[in-house]
C-alpha cells in the first residue's frame, strides 16, 4: 500500500494502487492455463491494454471518466465460458485482497461481480 495520502484526495482508490492491482492481476491471468490463451489471442499490445484497463477501473471506482470504450462489445467477441468468468473472478478476489486494503478490495470485487453478471447476460 502507498502511504497515508489516500484521504487527502477525492480518489477512492489511489491511482498507483490501481496500476499495481491491474498489473499483478493480468500477470496472473496470462499464466493461467484457462484464461491465458484467451487473452493472448485477444490482446496484441499488453502495455496499451493494461493502460486502458487502469483507465477503465479509474473511471468505474474513482469516477474519473478517463475510459472510452465498450466493454460489452469487446467481451462479446471472445469465446468466453462460464468457467472462465468464475476463474477470472476468483483471481480478481485473490489479487484485490493481496494488494488493497479490505474496504477497497471489497469495492473492487463488488464492481467486478456486477460487471461479470452484466456481461454474462449480454453474451449468453
Q: Which range marks the domain in which residue 119 is found?
A: 13-123
pLDDT of residue 118: 84
Say if 62 falls within a structural domain.
Answer: yes
From residue 89, how far is each of 10, 45, 71, 79, 108 by CA, in Å?
Answer: 27, 23, 16, 17, 11
pLDDT of residue 73: 62
Check which CATH number belongs to the domain holding 43 and give it.
Answer: 1.10.490.10
pLDDT digits (tens, 9 = 90+) for 69-107: 776 666 655 677 888 889 999 999 999 999 999 999 999
The helix or strand, by DSSP H or E, that contains position 94, with its residue range, turns out to be helix 82-99
Domains in the chain, number: 1
pLDDT digits (tens, 9 = 90+) for 29-45: 999 999 999 888 888 89
pLDDT digits (tens, 9 = 90+) for 11-31: 789 999 999 999 999 999 999
Amino acid at each position: 500500500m502507498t502511504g497515508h495520502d489516500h484521504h487527502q484526495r477525492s480518489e477512492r482508490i489511489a491511482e498507483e494502487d490501481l496500476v499495481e492491482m491491474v498489473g499483478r492481476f493480468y500477470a496472473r491471468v496470462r499464466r493461467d492455463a484457462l484464461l491465458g490463451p484467451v487473452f493472448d489471442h485477444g490482446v496484441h499490445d499488453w502495455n496499451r491494454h493494461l493502460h486502458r484497463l487502469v483507465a477503465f477501473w479509474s473511471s468505474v471506482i474513482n469516477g474519473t471518466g478517463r475510459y472510452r470504450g465498450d466493454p460489452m462489445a469487446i467481451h462479446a467477441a471472445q469465446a468466453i465460458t462460464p468457467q472462465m468468468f468464475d476463474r477470472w473472478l476468483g483471481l480478481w478476489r485473490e489479487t484485490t485482497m493481496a494488494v488493497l486494503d479490505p474496504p477497497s478490495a471489497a469495492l473492487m470485487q463488488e464492481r467486478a461481480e456486477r460487471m461479470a453478471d452484466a456481461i454474462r447476460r449480454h453474451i449468453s
